[in-house]
Amino acid sequence: MPSPQTTSDEAVTRLRRLDCCAVSDALDQLGLKGQVTGVPKRSGSNGRIAGRVVTLKLHDGPRPDGPVRHLGTTAVELAGPEDVIVVEQRTGLDAGCWGGLLTLGAKLRGVAGVVADGPVRDIDEAREYDFPIFSTALTALTARSRVVEAETNGAIEPWGVPVCAGDYVIADSSAIIFISAEQAPHVLDAAEAIALKEAAMAKALLSGKPISAVMSGDYEHMLEAERVSA
């Protein structure tokens, strides 16, 4: 059985200290894309998930050659505590791209969560397991005879965003954001600087400084100014 990556990833640690708004601002500052909004969190009490991406692509075509495996099982066996499984099921069919047994398997391996561009089923089980799932839709319809696994850890385009295995994702109630592995150091540096500045502004408000002074013209042009200086 494949084992999850056990070495600690500093980028995951840093990403988990941030939120999607700070990361989104960092992408804006750097002229990058990757934000997806309007996708609800369906389960899990943790407010935010973040980690390396393990990809899972489904389609309504023939099964790949080789031994028959149920969709998603390879992704679960490849993933670990610093990973988020990202599923693309963009066939247009009402068919589950993730379900209860996969959720339990991922929970037992400590996987950080699942982000699915497609319908997820057995969501009540995911809630009982307190396992974080973000998805476009819910369904009771099985994948069997409808969709199959096309590839694990290949390139996917959830919500039209190019994503590769080993990229990074963060998701909370504001958004889902994908960050390429190549751009991650720059995005993290920018997001941490933005978060630090906003923390200082919050401290100023708590000390009694007027909000109009705290959120002045400097704040309005903060990302623009940082982009020029970068």
First and final C-alpha spacing in the chain: 45
> Does the pLDDT value for residue 218 go beyond 80?
no
Residue-wise over 131-144: b if at least 16 C-beta within 10 A, else e? bbbbbbbebeeebe
User: Helices in 4-108 by DSSP H: which ranges?
Assistant: 10-15, 20-30, 73-78, 100-108
* Predicted TM-score (pTM) of this structure: 0.91
Q: In the chain, where are the structural domains located?
A: 10-186
- CATH number given to 10-186: 3.50.30.40
Do 123 and 42 contact (CB within 8 A), yes or no?
Answer: yes
- Residue 1 is predicted with a pLDDT of 38
Q: What number is the average pLDDT over the span 8-31?
A: 96
Instruction: Provide the 8-state DSSP code for 159.
Output: G
Q: Please, which residues have CB within 8 angstroms of residue 152's CB and are 6 or more apart in sequence?
A: 54, 55, 56, 57, 74, 75, 78
In terms of C-beta density within 10 A (0-12 exposed, 13-18 middle, 19 or more buried), how is residue 108 classed?
A: exposed
More confident residue, 135 or 8: 135
Six-digit token string for 155: 């390139």
Q: Which residues pair with 50 in a beta bridge?
A: 170
Q: What are 24-69's pLDDT values in tens digits? A: 999 999 999 999 999 999 999 988 999 999 999 999 987 777 777 8
How wide is the angle at C-alpha 183 spanned by C-alphas 177 and 185, nearest 5°? Answer: 100
Distance CA 24, CA 175 (A): 9
Distance CA 174, CA 7 (A): 29
Q: What are 73-124's pLDDT values in tens digits? A: 999 999 999 999 999 999 999 999 999 999 999 999 999 999 999 999 999 9
